[in-house]
Amino acid sequence: MLKILLLFFIPFQLSAYTILLDPGHGGEDLGAQGVLGKEKISEKDLALELAKKIASKISKKHRVYLTRTYDKTLALEKRADIAEKLSADIFVSIHVNASTRKGAHGFETYYLDHHKDAAVKKIESIENRNLKGEELVVHQILTDLIVDRTTKSSRLLGQAIHKKLQRGIKRKYNMKDRGLKPGLFYVLALTKRPAVLLEIGFISNAKELKRIKSSKFQDHYADNVAKGIMAYLKVLKKEKPPLF
Ligand SMILES: [Zn+2]
């Protein structure tokens, strides 16, 4: 059964949009792993913490849902089903990066599109890794169709969020801006709507992990993502006025 939680019930204006936030991984799928002192930290937990913070910052103006509100296993297809059931206007998947190079650091924002970047392919193989064989082929075909339809809006959404992160996070924390990049993430394609995937920072870098674990940083990060989402929705409203 699909369990969806509307975080805060407020009578919304007709201009309100439906935003679906997707904390990456969950349950048996821990995502990337890091160590802080003696504590083991999982990507799935950081992603959920961040998603909840972002949700609380946009829920006064828009309907915000999470694909999962607690630690549970959730297939990529199920996440897309939720987007479909809610008729979500946008989908934002939240992740934490990892690299075998301990020094790798910084934040990056992905939107769904084709590319030839080998470094990005590595990240994709990690985030897409629950799929194999026939499933993968089907998803590749689907991805081609969806890319054509959604890339423009996904890029605009990515630009809006990344711009706020550049202003708010890069300077304040002297954090490396790894850029706004195209990537083929199946979870984005499967949702069939404007969608971005955020990599907050690197769990494999002890210094950066300490930062992204702190609630002060998380608040600032969430604040900027929320501002970016709102900025995108404002443009959307101007381009496509409501019917009433
Ligand atoms: Zn991930």
| Digit-coded pLDDT (tens) for 17-48 | 999 999 999 999 999 999 998 999 999 999 99
The interaxial angle of helices 215-239 and 133-165, nearest 10 deg, is 100
Question: Could you tell me if residue 217 is inside a domain?
Answer: yes
Instruction: Output the domain CATH number for residue 46.
Output: 3.40.630.40
Cα–Cα dist 194/185, whole Å: 13
CB atoms under 10 Å from CB of 120, counted, come to: 17
8 C-alpha to center of ligand 1: Å?
Answer: 27
Number of domains in the chain: 1
Question: Could you tell me if residue 10 is inside a domain?
Answer: no
Question: Could you tell me if residue 8 is inside a domain?
Answer: no
244 C-alpha to center of ligand 1: Å?
Answer: 40
Question: Could you tell me if residue 187 is inside a domain?
Answer: yes
Question: Could you tell me if residue 104 is inside a domain?
Answer: yes
Containing domain of residue 198, as a range?
A: 17-239
Instruction: Identify the pLDDT of residue 74.
Output: 94
- Report pLDDT digits (tens) over 122-175: 788 888 877 666 676 667 777 778 888 889 999 999 999 999 999 999 889 989
Question: Could you tell me if residue 159 is inside a domain?
Answer: yes
Instruction: Identify the pLDDT of residue 244.
Output: 41
- Report pLDDT digits (tens) over 48-75: 999 999 999 999 899 999 999 999 999 9
30 C-alpha to center of ligand 1: Å?
Answer: 9
Give kind and range of the element (H or E) at residue 90.
Answer: strand 90-97
Give kind and range of the element (H or E) at residue 4.
Answer: none
Ligand 1 is an ion; residues with CB less than 5 A from it: 24, 31, 95, 127
pLDDT above 70 (res 101): yes
Question: Could you tell me if residue 102 is inside a domain?
Answer: yes
Report residue 243's pLDDT band, with 50, 70 and 90 as the boundaries: very low
- Report pLDDT digits (tens) over 185-232: 888 888 889 999 999 999 999 999 999 999 999 999 999 999 999 999
pLDDT above 90 (res 94): yes
Question: Could you tell me if residue 64 is inside a domain?
Answer: yes
